[in-house]
């Protein structure tokens, strides 16, 4: 059975992917510095080495300790706002940390990597549904680091024949269907956990702008359930194994939901109403960001199974109300 190195395997999407890999019979080695990951999320059947991917020596030790067949690379910084006042942190972690992984792969003859990229590479798309070929013009430094690392992967393929699949996530959301596992963040910025928190605390929820050129004036996003994202990684690994070819895929549902629509659905699911206040626009928010997912459905035969808004919200609500 193959051994997969998962960087950031204690994080939100990483830990759901680890669970799925283990269920499929893979041997999993997690490296994570636990800066935003959480031990509670980590599958007990995985090997774990607590280290920072910037620590080249520690990382290379893991490659000599285990016979790694492929890498799934999640570890990185993901806060858009932070990337705009501390770009160096983003360059170090997302570029230099990633390079350490590629170099360790090269030295140990590991040829396949799946990379967590982001729809942030597109910036503000000029088309309704954004396909992989759309113009890439990041509007924040976080998105820029994702795009640079994609380009680095292209060069490592040309020069060293390391093959990669970049998965450009849209809005990751949701939790385990039984509510047993979900997103844990020190500082929450994502709309669904904030919305539920405000509902629980009976405090008003702020919508960041209601004068966008969208159907109800609020921003439209493509929310994708974390279980569907995890599934995309398993398929990406098989794709690399079978095709020995690099590729890039959007991972989204191709359906958009506005912030106002989310609020309405959340009220239905919780049976509670929430007061809404309209706050100023948040800098760097594209009005409309929805995937064209034709390529991943056709090439990887991937389908979203849990990403309807009610499953996303119900699972996230269960997770919020866990004992």
String of DSSP letters for 93-162:
IIIIHHHHHHHHHHHTT--EEEEEEEGGGG-S-SSSEE-TTS----SSHHHHHHHHHHHHHHHHHHHH--
The stretch near ligand UDP (CB under 6 A) out of 105-113, 184-192, 229-237, 312-320 is 184-192
43 or 209: CB nearest ligand UDP? 209
Handedness of CA 251, 254, 258, 262 (dihedral sign): negative
Q: Which is nearer to ligand UDP, 19 or 314 (CB)?
A: 314
Q: Shortest approach of ligand UDP to residue 281 CB, angstroms? A: 7
* Alpha helices per DSSP H over the chain: 12-23, 56-65, 80-85, 87-90, 97-107, 141-160, 191-201, 226-243, 259-270, 294-299, 309-320
Length of the chain: 323
| 242, 231 contact by CB (below 8 A) | no
Show the tokens assigned to 105: 């792969």
Find the part of the chain contacting ligand UDP (CB under 6 A) among 47-55, 92-100, 109-117, 185-193.
185-193
**Do 14 and 46 meet the contact criterion of CB atoms below 8 Å apart?**
no
Shortest separation between residue 283's beta carbon and ligand UDP, angstroms: 10
- Of residues 154 through 173, those in contact with ligand UDP by CB under 6 A are 171
**Secondary structure class of 269 (helix, strand, coil):** helix
Query: Which residue, 30 or 167, has its beta carbon nearer to ligand UDP?
Result: 167
Taking the least distance from each CB to ligand UDP, the nearer of 96 and 194 is 194
How many angstroms separate the CA atoms of 80 and 120, rounded? 9
Task: Give the integer Cα–Cα distance in Å for 229 and 173.
Answer: 9
Closest separation in Å from C-beta 259 to ligand UDP: 5
Please confirm, yes or no, whether 142 is among the known catalytic residues: yes
78 touches ligand UDP (CB under 6 A) = no
Classify 290 as helix, strand or coil.
Answer: strand
Catalytic residue among 12, 90, 142, 156: 142
Question: Least distance in Å: CB of 195 to ligand UDP?
Answer: 7
Residue 277 or 298: the one with the smaller Cβ distance to ligand UDP is: 277
**Exactly one of 70, 121, 199, 259 binds ligand UDP (CB under 6 A); which one?**
259
Find the binding residues for ligand UDP in span 186-225 (CB under 6 A): 189-191, 194, 206-208, 219, 221
The contact pattern for ligand UDP, residues 277-306, with x = CB under 6 A and - = no contact, is -----x--x---------------------
Cα–Cα distance measured from residue 17 to residue 22, given in angstroms and rounded to the nearest whole number? 9
Contact mark string toward ligand UDP, 30..59, x via CB under 6 A: ------------------------------
Cα Rg for the chain, rounded, in angstroms? 19
**Which residue number is nearest to ligand UDP in terms of Cβ?**
219
Name the site residues for ligand UDP (rule: CB under 6 A). Answer: 171, 189-191, 194, 206-208, 219, 221, 259, 282, 285
Active site residues: 142
């Amino acid at each position: 059975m193959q051994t997969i190195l998962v960087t950031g395997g204690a994080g939100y999407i990483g830990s759901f992917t680890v669970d799925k890999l283990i269920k499929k019979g893979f041997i999993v080695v997690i490296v994570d510095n636990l800066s935003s990951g959480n031990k509670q999320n980590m599958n007990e059947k995985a090997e774990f080495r607590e280290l920072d991917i910037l620590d080249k020596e520690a990382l290379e030790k893991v490659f000599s300790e285990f016979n790694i067949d492929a890498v799934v690379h999640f570890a990185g910084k993901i806060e858009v706002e932070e990337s705009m006042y501390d770009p160096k942190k983003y360059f170090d972690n997302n570029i230099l940390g990633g390079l350490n992984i590629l170099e360790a792969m090269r030295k140990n003859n590991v040829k396949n990597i799946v990379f967590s990229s982001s729809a942030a590479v597109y910036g503000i798309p000029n088309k309704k549904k954004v396909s992989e070929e759309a113009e890439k013009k990041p509007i924040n430094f976080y998105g820029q680091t994702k795009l640079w690392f994609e380009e680095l992967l292209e060069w490592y393929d040309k020069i060293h024949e390391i093959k990669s699949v970049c998965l450009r996530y849209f809005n990751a959301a949701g939790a385990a269907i039984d509510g047993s596992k979900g997103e844990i963040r020190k500082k929450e910025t994502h709309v669904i956990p904030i919305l539920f928190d405000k509902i629980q605390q009976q405090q008003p929820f702020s919508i960041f702008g209601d004068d966008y050129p969208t159907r109800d004036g609020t921003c439209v996003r493509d929310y994708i359930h974390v279980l569907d994202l995890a599934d995309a990684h398993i398929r990406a690994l098989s794709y690399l194994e079978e095709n020995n070819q690099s590729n890039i895929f959007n991972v989204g549902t191709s359906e958009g939901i506005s912030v106002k629509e989310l609020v309405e659905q959340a009220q239905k699911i919780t049976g509670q109403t929430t007061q809404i206040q309209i706050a100023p626009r948040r800098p760097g928010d594209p009005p409309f960001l929805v995937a064209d997912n034709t390529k991943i459905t056709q090439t990887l035969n991937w389908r979203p199974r849990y990403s309807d808004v009610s499953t996303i919200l119900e699972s996230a609500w269960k997770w919020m109300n866990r004992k």
